[in-house]
Copies of this chain bind each other. A is one copy, B any other.
């Protein structure tokens, strides 16, 4: 591990484990869910609210921040932590994934990727070195290598090509990162839905040596069982004393299943994006507040929650806010969803400590299956 960075596993229960990833700006309790703060803000939340929910780390997106306000500007303003009023750990991605999903006219070559901004059409270039330079300007605590992520389904040849390009970029990223004290660098396992390519990717990365290992290229449209199979195929070749991060995942069910298979860290836009679209994640499962069944319902989303957003506002009011496109609707549902996700993580951490991770996961999923409380007579 890079000096100033440490990871300790506390308890294990099957493949699941709890641990702590410690960095100068704070300790991340794992398994951890990292709220996504795309452009330097977890959408519709004040930063201290996010912290109060138990988030030890948030994500920043290199692609968004390099385009606006610009990495050099953020650096001049004291780095992303000062800029965004979030003094605790921040993980930044490499920018590669969003170049592929958002930018136009992207051209990938051996050295890197050229693309046009989705904001103003200006041309930009990302290489493994420039990505790490941007992440250093942002001064994020956990930095990711640039990789190539292939959408599934894909031909084996395309997946294989991406695996080896990503490994060469991993090597260059490692060199570019250097070993900045107190900052961590994660490599990213690719390999699509082909177990032996996942294995080759993981072994290649471990040979280079990273502080942590991410699994990328999942939750890109494949069935959940494929995702779980790829995790199971990968984690055994990743060193147990380093954190494992499943990128872009996922639903509560996805997260629980992945924790049971040895994953320590997650990020996903689901709770925040759903919150802006009238959807709540609760102990009763997913609830669509746009549905007319809530229009006259005086009950809160979840009377047992300790989050004011879930407990103190009626479904009727939330329905009204969502239908009226009032900002408070997005604010309350995002808050409630992130509270639920953080509660889920503290729940699974406690369950692992108590040796009942499988039971906790099963009980939680059963709760979803039972569905929402019945409509009032």
Does A295 contact B39, Cβ atoms closer than 8 Å? no
Does B41 contact A314, Cβ atoms closer than 8 Å? no
Q: Tell whether A73 pairs with B321 under 8 Å between CB atoms, given A298-B78, A327-B327.
A: no
Set B41, B45, B314, B326: member contacting A321, Cβ < 8 A? B41
Does A328 contact B73, Cβ atoms closer than 8 Å? no
What's the least CB distance linking A323 to chain B, in Å? 7
Q: Tell whether A77 pairs with B316 under 8 Å between CB atoms, given A323-B68, A331-B327.
A: yes
Set B43, B77, B324, B331: member contacting A314, Cβ < 8 A? B77
Distance of A314 Cα from B327 Cα, bound (Å): 23
Does A69 contact B331, Cβ atoms closer than 8 Å? no
Q: Tell whether A40 pairs with B317 under 8 Å between CB atoms, given A327-B331, A331-B327.
A: yes
Does A331 contact B44, Cβ atoms closer than 8 Å? yes
Does A326 contact B41, Cβ atoms closer than 8 Å? yes
Does B323 contact A43, Cβ atoms closer than 8 Å? no
Does A320 contact B78, Cβ atoms closer than 8 Å? no
Interface residue A103 (Cβ < 8 Å from any Cβ of B) = no
Does A320 contact B69, Cβ atoms closer than 8 Å? yes
Interface residue A306 (Cβ < 8 Å from any Cβ of B) = no
Which residue on chain B has the smallest CB distance to residue A64? B324
Which chain A residues in 63-109 approach chain B with CB under 8 Å?
Answer: 68-69, 73, 76-78, 82-85
Map CB proximity to B onto A10-49 as digits: 1 under 8 Å, 0 otherwise.
0000000000000000000000000000011101111000
Specify which chain B residues have a CB less than 8 angstroms from the CB of A83 in the assembled complex: 314, 316-317, 320
Which chain A residues in 323-356 approach chain B with CB under 8 Å?
Answer: 323-324, 326-328, 330-331
Q: Tell whether A45 pairs with B328 under 8 Å between CB atoms, given A84-B317, A317-B83, A323-B68.
A: yes
Q: Tell whether A324 pairs with B68 under 8 Å between CB atoms, given A73-B316, A77-B316.
A: yes
Which residue on chain B has the smallest CB distance to residue A316? B77
Distance of A76 Cα from B76 Cα, bound (Å): 55
Q: List 11 A-B contacts (CB under 8 A).
A: A39-B320, A40-B317, A43-B328, A44-B328, A45-B328, A68-B324, A69-B323, A77-B316, A83-B314, A84-B317, A327-B330
Binding site for B on A (CB under 8 A): 39-41, 43-46, 68-69, 73, 76-78, 82-85, 295-296, 298, 312-314, 316-317, 319-321, 323-324, 326-328, 330-331
